[in-house]
C-alpha cells in the first residue's frame, strides 16, 4: 500500500510540476535558512556546557555604585581575595584564580633555555591564561600527555595540540622544550592538552602556571598580592560551589567580608560582590569574558524567532498552494471516493505526496545550507572549522524538522481534500467552504506579509542606525592611522623607532600610548580635584600618552595645549566632560587646576581637549584624563600622509623589524578597530536584510498561489464582465484590490510590533536615530509594490483569456 501511495504521489507531482516546483522552492529555502540558524544557535548556546560541573561553577563579580548613580560591573577581583576568601568563607568550596587573557608573544627557544634566537616568534591575540592545578578539577579539558600537577611549579607552560604543532612541528616533541613569553620569562613545556572545543570561553591553548604570576606579578598583569586597592578585570576567581551550599548563603557573607578588609577606607562608592553562574558567562554583557566574544540572549532568541517564522511561512505557503491544487484535483477525489476509497486512505495518499515534497525540499535545503555555510561568518561568529556534517545533533534536527513540516504543511490540505463530497467534486462544484474557507487563506496571507513588514522595517531601522554611527562625529581622525603593538621591555628604543619613521616623508607623525582614543578598554580610577581633601563622587578614565598623541589622532583643544616633551611636572590633559562633571563650564577656567589620581601626586591641567568618543556609540562619553606614562605605552599610532598606503605600511614593518627584532609586529588601521565595535550590530543588520528578503520571497509564493486560486474561482465572472465590456485594467484592478487590502491590513497590524521591537533595540545606544514615519512608509510601499506585481501576473493572465473559453461550460 505504501509503495503504491508513493508511486501515485510521484506521478502526481510530475503531472503538476509547476505546483511541485513552487512548493519545493519555498520549503527548501525555508529549511536551508532554518538549518543555518540552528547551526548558529547550537554553537552560541553550547559554550562551556561540556563541563560535567557546568551547573556548579560560578564566577565572583563586583558591582560598584557611585553617588552620582553610575554603576560599574567587573569580573575582576584584587589579587589578595583568593587567600582571604579561603579563610573567611571556607564553605565556598574550591576557589580557582585565573588570569587572562595573556595575549602573549611566544618566542620558540627549542631545547636550549639560554638560546637567544628570535627567528620563530608569534604574537598570540586573545590567547592564554595563568591558573592553578585545581583549574582542571572545575573544567574538563583532556590531557594528551602530562597532568595538572605540572602547574604547581613556576615557569611551566602547557599547550594545546594545535599550538604545540604550530611551535614545534609535532606535539610529541614539545614536552621539555622551552618558550620565552613576552621576551621576559622562559617557560618549560610541561604538558599537552587535547584541542579544546571551539565553543569555550576559556582560551586554554596556552596555560601558564599561576606560580609564575605569584613569583613575577608584573610579568603577568599588574598589582601585587598584598594590594587590596587595585582591581583588574583580567584577574578572575572561579568557584566550584558544593551542592549543599546555596548561592544566597555565600552572597550573604560578602558584605561582612568587604567591611572587614576595607574597614579603614573612605569611599564615595559602594562595592558589593555576587556570584554569576558559568551558564551566563557567554551572555552577560556587563562582565567581559576572556575571549572577548559574547552574545546576548536577546540576539539568540531573535535567531530562534526568525527561524520559526521563516519555516512557518514556508508551511503557510505550502498550505495555500495545496488549497489551490485541491480545486484542480476535486474530480480525482470524487472518482476515488466513488470507486471505494475511504477518507483515511485519501488522507494517507495526500500525506504521502507531502512527505515526498518535503523530502525533496529537505534534500535541496541541505545542499543550499552546505553551500551557504562559508557565508555564516557574515552574520555570526561561527568558525569555519566547526564540524557540521559529522554532528549528529544537526541530523536529528533535520529529521525532526522534516517530520514537523510534513505534518504541519500536509495535514490540513489532506483533511480538506479528503472531505470533498463525491457528486460535487466530480461536477467541479467544490464550494469555498469545502476548501477550508477563503478567510483562512486571507488570514495566512496577512500573517505572512505582517512578518515580512516587521523584518523590512527592522532592516530599514538597523541600516539607518549603522549609517548614522558611521557618520557620527567622533572628535578625532580615524583614517590613515596605523596602530602597532609595543613591548614596554624595550622602552629605551621607542625614540629610535619614532626617529626612523619620521625620516620617511610618507609619515606625518608618530605617538606612543596605552590606548587609542576610542576602544573597549577602560582604565578607570578614583581621583580628587582642585586640591580638595576628598575624592569626587565619580571615576575618571585614564589614558597614558606622549605629547604627539593629540596631533596623530587629530584631537582638538578647547583650551590650553598639550604637555611638553619630557615634562617632569606630571602635567595632564582632560576632556570637556571631565570639567562639566566637576562643575566648570568654561574650559579656560580648568587650565591650571590640579588633579590627583588615587594616592598619587597633584598634577596641573595644561590643556582641555574637545569631547571625543572614547567608546562605542552605545555609551556616553566618559570623563577622561590623558597623562604621560612611558611604562604603559603598549601601542604606537602612526599617521600616514601618503596615498600609497601599502608602501607606507611596508616601510613601517621594515623599521619595526630593525628596531625591535625580538618582537613580532601586530598592526592594523585604527578605523578597522572602530568598525569592530559594531560587528554584532552589522551582523544583525545583514541578518534582517537576508531574512526580510526570504520572507518576502516566500510570502509572494503564497500570494501567487492564492491569486491563482481566486482567478480560477472567478473565471466565469471575468468572462461575463468582458462580454459586458469590462477593460483589462478594470479586471486587473478588481482582482488585485482584495489582495492589496490584505497587505494593507498586514502593514497596520505589523507596524506597532516593528516599532516596539526596534525601539527596544535602539535603547542599547547612547547615540541613535529617531524612529520615523518614513521608515514604515518605505516598508509599506515596498510590500504593496511587490504584492501588486505578484498578483498582477495572474490578474493580467486571467483578464486576457478569451471569455468564450471560460463561459463554454455554462
The stretch 411-415 carries a mean pLDDT of 67
Residues contacting 352, CB < 8 A, separation 6+: 2, 5, 6, 8, 9
Least confident window among 27-41, 261-275, 342-356, 751-765: 342-356
For residue 659, the model assigns a pLDDT of: 94
Cis check: omega of the bond before 676, within 30 degrees of 0: no
pLDDT in tens, 533-578: 788 888 899 999 999 999 999 999 999 999 988 765 679 999 999 9
Sequential DSSP letters for 137-201: HHS---EEES-GGGGGSSSEEEEEHHHHHHHHSSGGGTTT-EEEETTTEEEEEEEEEPPPPSS-S
Calculated CA dihedral for residues 345, 349, 354, 355, nearest 10 degrees: 90
Band (333; pLDDT cuts 50, 70, 90): low
Domain stops at, among 611, 627, 662: 662
- List the grid coordinates of 159: 599547550
Asked if 59 contacts 275 with a C-beta cutoff of 8 angstroms, the reply is yes
Give the range among 252-261, 480-489, 693-702 with minimum mean pLDDT: 693-702
Residue 675 lies in a domain: no
| 193 band by pLDDT with thresholds 50, 70 and 90 | very high
CA angle 268, 274, 278 (to 5 degrees): 140
Instruction: Let me know whether 596 and 640 are in one domain.
Output: yes
Q: Which of 142-156, 261-275, 670-684 is the most confident on average?
A: 142-156
Do 267 and 140 lie in a common domain? yes
Average pLDDT over residues 200-225: 89
**Top-confidence residue, 457 or 618:** 457
DSSP letter at 596 equals E
The answer on pLDDT for 284 being more than 80 is yes
pLDDT higher than 90, residue 324: no
Instruction: Provide the edge-to-edge strand list for the sheet that holds 667-669.
Output: 507-513, 635-640, 481-485, 667-669
Shared domain for 323 and 419, answered yes or no, is yes
Check if the beta carbon of residue 120 is closer than 8 Å to that of residue 168: no
- The band of 733, judged by pLDDT with boundaries at 50, 70 and 90, is confident
Model pLDDT, residue 425: 47
pLDDT of residue 798: 66
In sequence order, the 6+-apart residues with CB closer than 8 A to the CB of 369 are: 31, 32, 35, 36, 39
Q: Indicate the SS3 state at residue 575.
A: strand
Q: What gap in Å lies between CA 28 and CA 367, rounded to an integer?
A: 9
Three-state SS letters, 56-90:
HEEEEEEEEEECCCCEEEECECCCCHHHHHHHHCH
Tell me which residue has cell 585565573.
98
pLDDT for the residue 161: 97
pLDDT at residue 189 above 80? Answer: yes
- Percent of the chain whose predicted confidence (pLDDT) is above 70: 85
Return the minimum-mean-pLDDT range out of 147-161, 565-579, 637-651, 708-722.
708-722
pLDDT in the model for residue 203 = 95
C-alpha cell recorded at residue 731: 479586471
503 burial via Cβ count (<10 Å: 0-12, 13-18, 19+): exposed
Of 371, 389, 451, the closest CA to residue 39 belongs to: 389
User: Which of 327-331, 374-378, 668-672 is the least confident region?
Assistant: 327-331
479 in a structural domain = no
Q: What is the grid cell recorded at 215?
A: 613569583
CA distances from 426 to 223, 316, 421 (A): 89, 28, 9
**Most confident of the following: 155-169, 217-231, 446-460:** 155-169
SS3 570: coil
Q: Angle of helix 679-713 relative to helix 17-45, nearest 10 degrees? A: 160
Which pairing describes strands 178-181 and 105-110: parallel, antiparallel, or unpaired?
A: antiparallel
**326 part of a folded domain:** yes
Residue 757 falls inside a structural domain: yes
The residue behind cell 603593538 is 485
730 in a domain, yes or no?
A: yes
pLDDT category at 295 given cuts 50, 70, 90 is confident
User: How many residues are given for the chain?
Assistant: 810
Spatial contact of 703 and 747, defined as CB atoms under 8 Å apart: no
In this structure, are 552 and 469 located in the same domain? no
Element (H, E) at 550: helix 549-552
Number of structural domains (the chain) is 4
**Quick one: cell of 505?**
616623508
Higher-scoring residue by pLDDT: 523, 436: 523
Q: What is the pLDDT of residue 568?
A: 58
pLDDT at 431: 46
Mean pLDDT, residues 764-780: 90
DSSP per position, 651-719: HHHHHHHHH-TTS---EEEHHHHHHHHTHHHHHHHHHHHHHHHHHHHHHHHHHHHHHHHHHHHTHHHHH
pLDDT at 434: 40
Phi-psi region of 437 (alpha: psi -120 to 50; beta: other; left: phi over 0): left
Cα angle value 559/565/571 (rounded, 5°): 50
Which range among 354-358, 431-435, 447-451, 733-737 shows the weakest confidence by mean pLDDT? 431-435
Q: Which pLDDT does position 10 carry in this prediction?
A: 62
Asked whether the beta carbons of 731 and 434 are under 8 A apart, the reply is no
In a domain, 782, yes or no: yes
Mean pLDDT of the chain: 84
- Alpha carbon distance 459, 357 (integer Å): 32
Residue 479 has a pLDDT of 87
Same domain, 464 and 497: no
Q: What is the DSSP string of 269-287?
A: EEEEEEEEEGGGTTT-TTS
Range of the domain at 39: 1-47+296-436
> Do 497 and 585 have their domain in common?
yes
Structural element, H or E, at residue 39? helix 17-45
Over the stretch 128-147, which tens digit does the pLDDT of each residue have? Answer: 999 999 999 999 999 999 99
The answer to whether residue 416 scores a pLDDT higher than 60 is: yes
Reported as a single tens digit per residue, the pLDDT across 380-400 is 888 877 777 777 888 888 888
Nearest-10 Cα torsion for 12, 13, 17, 20:
140
Average pLDDT over residues 670-695: 82
Classify residue 545 by its DSSP letter. B
Q: Does a structural domain hold residue 612?
A: yes
Least confident of 573-582, 702-711, 796-805: 796-805
Q: Determine the Cα–Cα distance for residues 127 and 122; give it in Å rounded to an integer.
A: 11
Q: What is the mean pLDDT of residues 329-337?
A: 61
Residue pLDDT, tens place only, 217-261: 878 887 788 888 888 889 999 999 999 999 999 999 999 999 888
Task: Please state the three-class secondary structure of 453-478 as a single string.
Answer: HHHHHHHHHHHHHHHHHHCCCCCCCC
User: Do residue 597 and residue 700 come from a single domain?
Assistant: no
Q: Give residue-wise pLDDT tens across range 334-377.
A: 666 566 666 677 667 667 777 788 888 888 989 988 888 888 88
Q: Where among 254, 280, 306 does a domain terminate?
A: 280
* Cβ neighbourhood burial of 776 (10 Å; 0-12, 13-18, 19+): buried
What pLDDT score does 437 carry? 45
Q: Is 23 inside any structural domain?
A: yes
Rounded Cα distance between 513 and 520, Å, is 15
The residue behind cell 590643556 is 607
| C-alpha atoms less than 13 angstroms from C-alpha of 572 in its C-beta half-sphere | 25
Whether residue 605 sits in one domain with residue 704: no
Instruction: Say if residue 330 is in the same domain as residue 190.
Output: no
Return the pLDDT at 761: 85
- Using an 8 Å Cβ cutoff, are 635 and 485 in contact? yes
Does residue 100 sit in the same domain as residue 237? yes
Q: Can you say how many angstroms the Cα of residue 334 is from the centroid of all Cα atoms in its chain?
A: 55
Nearest-CA neighbor of 487 among 181, 793, 697, 786? 181
Picking from 75, 67, 81, the residue whose alpha carbon sits closest to that of residue 229 is: 81
| 434 touches 416 (CB < 8 A) | yes
Q: State the Cα–Cα distance between residues 203 and 196, nearest whole angstrom.
A: 9
Contact 141, 193 (CB under 8 A): yes
DSSP per-residue string spanning 562-582: PPPTT--S--EEEEHHHHHHT
**Interatomic CA distance for residues 676 and 616, integer angstroms:** 10
Asked if residue 782 has pLDDT above 50, the reply is yes
Query: 418 with 552, same domain?
Result: no
Could you tell me if 579 and 723 lie in one domain?
Answer: no
pLDDT band at residue 511 using 50, 70 and 90 as cut-offs: very high
Share of the chain above pLDDT 90, in %: 40
Amino acid at each position: 500500500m505504501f509503495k503504491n501511495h508513493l508511486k501515485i504521489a510521484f506521478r502526481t507531482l510530475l503531472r503538476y510540476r509547476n505546483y511541485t516546483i513552487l512548493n519545493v522552492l519555498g520549503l527548501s529555502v525555508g529549511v536551508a535558512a532554518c538549518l543555518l540558524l540552528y547551526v548558529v544557535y547550537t554553537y552560541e548556546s553550547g559554550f562551556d556546557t561540556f563541563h560535567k560541573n557546568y551547573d556548579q561553577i560560578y564566577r565572583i563579580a563586583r558591582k560598584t555604585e557611585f553617588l552620582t548613580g553610575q554603576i560599574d560591573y567587573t569580573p575582576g577581583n584584587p589579587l589578595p581575595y583568593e587567600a582571604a576568601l579561603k579563610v573567611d568563607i571556607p564553605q565556598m568550596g574550591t576557589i580557582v584564580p585565573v588570569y587572562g587573557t595573556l595575549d602573549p608573544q611566544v618566542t620558540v627557544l627549542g631545547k636550549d633555555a639560554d638560546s637567544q634566537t628570535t627567528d620563530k616568534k608569534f604574537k598570540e591575540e586573545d590567547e592564554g591564561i595563568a591558573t592553578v592545578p585545581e583549574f582542571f578539577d572545575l573544567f574538563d579539558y583532556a590531557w594528551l600527555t602530562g597532568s595538572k600537577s605540572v602547574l604547581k611549579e613556576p615557569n611551566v607552560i602547557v599547550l594545546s595540540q594545535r599550538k604545540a604543532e604550530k611551535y614545534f612541528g609535532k606535539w610529541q616533541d614539545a614536552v621539555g622544550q622551552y618558550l620565552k613569553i613576552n621576551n621576559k620569562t622562559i617557560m618549560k613545556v610541561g604538558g599537552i592538552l587535547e584541542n579544546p572545543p571551539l565553543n569555550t570561553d576559556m582560551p586554554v591553548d596556552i596555560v601558564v602556571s599561576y606560580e609564575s604570576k605569584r613569583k613575577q606579578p608584573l610579568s603577568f598583569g599588574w598589582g601585587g598580592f598584598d594590594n587590596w586597592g587595585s582591581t583588574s578585570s583580567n584577574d578572575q576567581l572561579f568557584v566550584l560551589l558544593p551542592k549543599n551550599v546555596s548561592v544566597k548563603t555565600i552572597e550573604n557573607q560578602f558584605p561582612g567580608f568587604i567591611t572587614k578588609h576595607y574597614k579603614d577606607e573612605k569611599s564615595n562608592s559602594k562595592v558589593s560582590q555576587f556570584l554569576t553562574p558559568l551558564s551566563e558567562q557567554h551572555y552577560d554583557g556587563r562582565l567581559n569574558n576572556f575571549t572577548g566574544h559574547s552574545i546576548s540572549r536577546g540576539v539568540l532568541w531573535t535567531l530562534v524567532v526568525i527561524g520559526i517564522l521563516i519555516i512557518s511561512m514556508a508551511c503557510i505557503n505550502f498550505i495555500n498552494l495545496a488549497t489551490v491544487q485541491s480545486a484542480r484535483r476535486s474530480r480525482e477525489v470524487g472518482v476515488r471516493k466513488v470507486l471505494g476509497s475511504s477518507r483515511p486512505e485519501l488522507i494517507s495518499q495526500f500525506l504521502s505526496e507531502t512527505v515526498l515534497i518535503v523530502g525533496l525540499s529537505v534534500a535541496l535545503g541541505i545542499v543550499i545550507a552546505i553551500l551557504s555555510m562559508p557565508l555564516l561568518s557574515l552574520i555570526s561568529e561561527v568558525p569555519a572549522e566547526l564540524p557540521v556534517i559529522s554532528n549528529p545533533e544537526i541530523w536529528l534536527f533535520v529529521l525532526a524538522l522534516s517530520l514537523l513540516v510534513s505534518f504541519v504543511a500536509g495535514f490540513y490540505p489532506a483533511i480538506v481534500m479528503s472531505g470533498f463530497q463525491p457528486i460535487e467534486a466530480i461536477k467541479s462544484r467544490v464550494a469555498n467552504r469545502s476548501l477550508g474557507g477563503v478567510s483562512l487563506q486571507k488570514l495566512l496571507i496577512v500573517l505572512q506579509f505582517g512578518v515580512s513588514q516587521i523584518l523590512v522595517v527592522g532592516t530599514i531601522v538597523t541600516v539607518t542606525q549603522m549609517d548614522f554611527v558611521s557618520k557620527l562625529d567622533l572628535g578625532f581622525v580615524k583614517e590613515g592611522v596605523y596602530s602597532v603593538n609595543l613591548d614596554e621591555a624595550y622602552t629605551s628604543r621607542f625614540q629610535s623607532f619614532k626617529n626612523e619613521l619620521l625620516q620617511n616623508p610618507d609619515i606625518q607623525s608618530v605617538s606612543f600610548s596605552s590606548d587609542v582614543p576610542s576602544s573597549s578598554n577602560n582604565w578607570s580610577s578614583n581621583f580628587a580635584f582642585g586640591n580638595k581633601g576628598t575624592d569626587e563622587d565619580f571615576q575618571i578614565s585614564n589614558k597614558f600618552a606622549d605629547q604627539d598623541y593629540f596631533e596623530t589622532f587629530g584631537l582638538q583643544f578647547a583650551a590650553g595645549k598639550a604637555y611638553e616633551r619630557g615634562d617632569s611636572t606630571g602635567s595632564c590633559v582632560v576632556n570637556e566632560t571631565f570639567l562639566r562633571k566637576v562643575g566648570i563650564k568654561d574650559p579656560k577656567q580648568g587650565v591650571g587646576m590640579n588633579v590627583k589620581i588615587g594616592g598619587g601626586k597633584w598634577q596641573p591641567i595644561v590643556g582641555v581637549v574637545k569631547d571625543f568618543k572614547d567608546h562605542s556609540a552605545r555609551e556616553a562619553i566618559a570623563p577622561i584624563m590623558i597623562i604621560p606614562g612611558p611604562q604603559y605605552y603598549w601601542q604606537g599610532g602612526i599617521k600616514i600622509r601618503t596615498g600609497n598606503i601599502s608602501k607606507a605600511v611596508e616601510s613601517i614593518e621594515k623599521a619595526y623589524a630593525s628596531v625591535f627584532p625580538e618582537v613580532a609586529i601586530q598592526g592594523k588601521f585604527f578605523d578597522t578597530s572602530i568598525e569592530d565595535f559594531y560587528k554584532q550590530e552589522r551582523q544583525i543588520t545583514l541578518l534582517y536584510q537576508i531574512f526580510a528578503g526570504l520572507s518576502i520571497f516566500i510570502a509572494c509564493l503564497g500570494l501567487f498561489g492564492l491569486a491563482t486560486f481566486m482567478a480560477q474561482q472567478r473565471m466565469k465572472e471575468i468572462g461575463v464582465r468582458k462580454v459586458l465590456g469590462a477593460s483589462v485594467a478594470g479586471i486587473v484592478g478588481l482582482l488585485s484590490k482584495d489582495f492589496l487590502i490584505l497587505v494593507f491590513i498586514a502593514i497596520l497590524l505589523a507596524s506597532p510590533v516593528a516599532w516596539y521591537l526596534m525601539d527596544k533595540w535602539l535603547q542599547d545606544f547612547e547615540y541613535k536615530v529617531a524612529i520615523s514615519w518614513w521608515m514604515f512608509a518605505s516598508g509599506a510601499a515596498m510590500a504593496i509594490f511587490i504584492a501588486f506585481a505578484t498578483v498582477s501576473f495572474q490578474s493580467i493572465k486571467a483578464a486576457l483569456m478569451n471569455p468564450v473559453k471560460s463561459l463554454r461550460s455554462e
